[in-house]
């Protein structure tokens, strides 16, 4: 490991699942030192009091404080904002104004059009000047922009699974952009840690259901990035479902092929596009992704099928919503922002069984 001074970082909003995952990953990071954690509800307690799995570690002894950008700026070079949309935008501006880099895990800087943001999130954007500055934090696509950024908008979990699955096909112009269907299923941690009737054990166990059909807030984010991929405005049919599992997203995507192209050629196209991108695993013909093989990792597994009868390309994408779809990806972005290897601290095997 390279001998260099550690970079001090903080987490604002430590009590949710993304905050918990950030702690799990940062604890063993070779170059980042977690020195500040905040929560308005849990301020005054030690971190190990709310996360007993940290007992007996130095991280577990960290005091939870109230978020204060000026005080955190004394100790932190970067902060991860793991707070709700609408709250993150003003906090991000405060941190940027005192010279602290920001990776925002909320939706506040993902959409470039403030009116689109207001329509889908029912919140007026108060920091419009940062929308164009924020880099969209998908390392396989925007690494050069992330490297230069002081503010990164960490992608949503569903968009990560869908964009990585569709990007090569759109860049190579092999699918009809007017008939894309994205059918996604997520584990319950994607709904957050707050108590909600629809995500308690007895409502989720031994059940499977759709939700927010036609109105999921990740829709405009997916459409924005896919439109950037092909240079044309895209609308997609995006449907979401809740799986009775803790972690993981499986997206099955359907799009008509524009020309007769073999499956072998499509797989080759995908492998060429993601060459050198170690977290994208394009699976061999006949092998389809499963959530258990990406659990707790940064991998995005892609399975490709050509439906000869209908002339459609079927893409199956599997990611871990908390790691690849949130906290792990946030750390990858922070790595790039400080000129580190994007893989630093994230080389982990799947949590199986």
Q: pLDDT tens across 92-134, in order?
A: 999 999 999 999 999 999 999 999 999 999 999 999 999 999 9
pLDDT of residue 231: 95
pLDDT of residue 47: 96
Ordered by where they begin, the domains of the chain are: 7-133 (3.40.50.720), 158-321 (3.30.360.10)
pLDDT of residue 2: 58
Report the C-alpha gap between 195 and 52 in whole angstroms.
20
The tokens describing 239, both together, are 């449907």
pLDDT of residue 79: 98
pLDDT of residue 196: 78
User: Residue with structure tokens 């290897």?
Assistant: 341
Q: How far is CA 123 from the centre of its chain?
A: 21
CB 32 within 8 A of CB 11: no
Q: Which amino acids are annotated catalytic?
A: 157
Q: How far is CA 230 from the centre of its chain?
A: 22
* Of 26, 17, 89, nearest in space to 62 by CA: 26
* Of 81, 87, 95, nearest in space to 126 by CA: 87
Q: What are φ and ψ of residue 263, in 5° steps? A: -60, -40
Report the C-alpha gap between 245 and 4 in whole angstroms.
40
Under-50 pLDDT residues of the chain: 1
CB 342 within 8 A of CB 143: yes
CB 5 within 8 A of CB 36: no
pLDDT of residue 3: 65
pTM more than 0.75: yes
Residues in the chain: 353
User: What is the strand order of the sheet 78-81 is part of?
Assistant: 64-65, 32-38, 7-12, 78-81, 101-104, 151-153, 135-136
């Amino acid at each position: 490991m390279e001998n260099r001074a550690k970079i001090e970082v903080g987490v604002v909003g430590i009590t949710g699942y993304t905050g918990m995952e950030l702690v799990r990953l940062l604890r063993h990071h070779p170059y980042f030192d977690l020195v500040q954690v905040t929560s308005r509800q849990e301020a005054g307690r030690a971190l190990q009091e709310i996360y007993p799995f940290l007992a007996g570690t130095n991280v577990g002894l960290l005091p939870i404080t109230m978020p204060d950008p000026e005080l955190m700026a004394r100790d932190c070079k970067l902060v991860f904002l793991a707070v709700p949309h609408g709250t993150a935008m003003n906090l991000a501006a405060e941190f940027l104004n005192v010279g602290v880099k920001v990776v925002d895990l909320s939706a506040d800087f993902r959409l470039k059009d403030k009116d689109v943001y207001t329509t889908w999130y029912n919140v007026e954007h108060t920091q419009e000047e940062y929308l164009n500055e924020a880099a969209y934090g998908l390392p396989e696509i925007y690494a050069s922009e992330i490297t230069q950024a002081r503010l990164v908008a960490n992608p949503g979990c569903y968009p990560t699974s869908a964009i990585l699955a569709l990007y090569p096909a759109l860049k190579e112009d092999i699918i009809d952009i007017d008939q894309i269907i994205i059918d996604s299923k997520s584990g319950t941690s994607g709904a957050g840690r707050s108590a909600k009737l629809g995500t308690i054990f007895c409502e989720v166990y031994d059940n499977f259901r759709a939700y927010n059909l036609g109105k999921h807030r990740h829709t405009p984010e997916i459409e924005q990035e896919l439109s950037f991929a092909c240079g044309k405005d895209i609308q997609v049919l995006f449907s979401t479902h809740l799986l009775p599992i803790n972690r993981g997203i499986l997206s099955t995507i359907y799009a008509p092929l524009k020309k007769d192209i073999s499956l072998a050629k499509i797989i080759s196209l995908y492998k060429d596009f993601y060459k050198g991108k170690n977290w994208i695993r394009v699976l061999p013909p006949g092998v389809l992704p499963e959530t258990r093989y990406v659990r707790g990792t940064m991998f995005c597994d892609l399975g490709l099928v050509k439906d000869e009868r209908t002339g459609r390309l079927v893409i199956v994408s599997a990611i871990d919503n908390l790691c690849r779809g949130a906290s792990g990806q946030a750390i990858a972005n922070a790595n790039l922002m400080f000129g580190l290897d994007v893989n630093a601290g994230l080389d982990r095997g799947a949590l199986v069984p």
